Amino acid sequence: MGVSKGNRIKKLVLQSKLALEESIQLERGRGKLFNTLCVTDRGMAFLGRQNERPGKGGPLHRDFQQRVHGQLKAWRLPSTIEAYRNGKAVDVGFEINGKSWAAEVTTTCGKNEVDNLTKDLEAGFDQVVFIAKDLKVQAGVQRHLANSCEKRTKSQWNVCLLNEFFTLVECELNIRTEGISPKMSHDEQDNTDADIT
């Protein structure tokens, strides 16, 4: 199939609302933005399938949940999509060395992340990571949380892009086995390419 034919098919799929096209950013830097197609519920019905992707939210939100859950499973970490703990559901719940983590996918920079953080910590999660779809969302969430959260909770949350999240978890796995705990300060996260110190 040629490029122009593929583009025509893609255009028809999007116009028919069988899929949505979203721009996402996996890591920092120029040229790191790319488009992804997410199959909608209507698209799944067209294919004669049930929505096989657990989770809440729109197609992009569920896609991020699946990516996070899939990678955690590949690392053999126990993880659950829409994990419930003490009456609170998180997008993906997982554990590293006995420490409970909540991963919250955020595709907009609304103010509900402050409520999510409070509820996640009250539910007993030790660490909360917000995974933003792009730098704009990341900066907005970072600002809302920094302005609204108590100082004692700042070490318990982080806001990052998808690849930065994977790097954070990898470092936690590698360093935890050596007995050293990684920490990415919120200032470093804003000013560097997610160096973990």
pLDDT digits (tens, 9 = 90+) for 77-136: 999 999 989 888 999 999 998 899 999 999 887 678 888 898 999 999 999 999 998 888
181 has a pLDDT exceeding 50: no
The verdict on 91 and 177 lying in the same domain is yes
Residue 196 confidence (pLDDT): 32
Whether residue 196 is contained in a domain is answered as no
For the residues 69-84, what does the mean pLDDT come to? 92
Whether residue 132 lies inside any domain: the answer is: yes
Evaluate whether residue 87 is within a structural domain.
Answer: yes
Alpha helical stretches, state H, the chain: 3-15, 41-46, 59-74, 112-122, 135-148, 162-178, 186-191
CATH number, domain containing residue 155: 3.40.1350
Domain that holds residue 9: 3-46
Q: What is the pLDDT of residue 184?
A: 40
Between strands 19-25 and 33-39, the pairing is antiparallel
Question: Cα(38)–Cα(106) distance, rounded to whole angstroms?
Answer: 16
Single out the residue of 133, 166, 128 nearest to residue 145, CA to CA.
128
Same domain membership, residue 150 and residue 97 = yes
- The pLDDT-based confidence of 32 (bands split at 50, 70, 90) is low
Contact between 158 and 129 under an 8 Å Cβ cutoff? The reply is yes
Among 63-72, 89-98, 186-195, where is mean pLDDT lowest? 186-195
> Residue 194 has what pLDDT?
37
Q: How many domains does the chain fold into?
A: 2
The stretch 135-162 carries a mean pLDDT of 87
Claim to verify: residue 102 and residue 171 sit in the same structural domain: yes
| Residues 36 and 65 reside in one and the same domain | no
- Whether 181 maps to a domain, the answer reads yes
Output the average pLDDT for the chain.
79
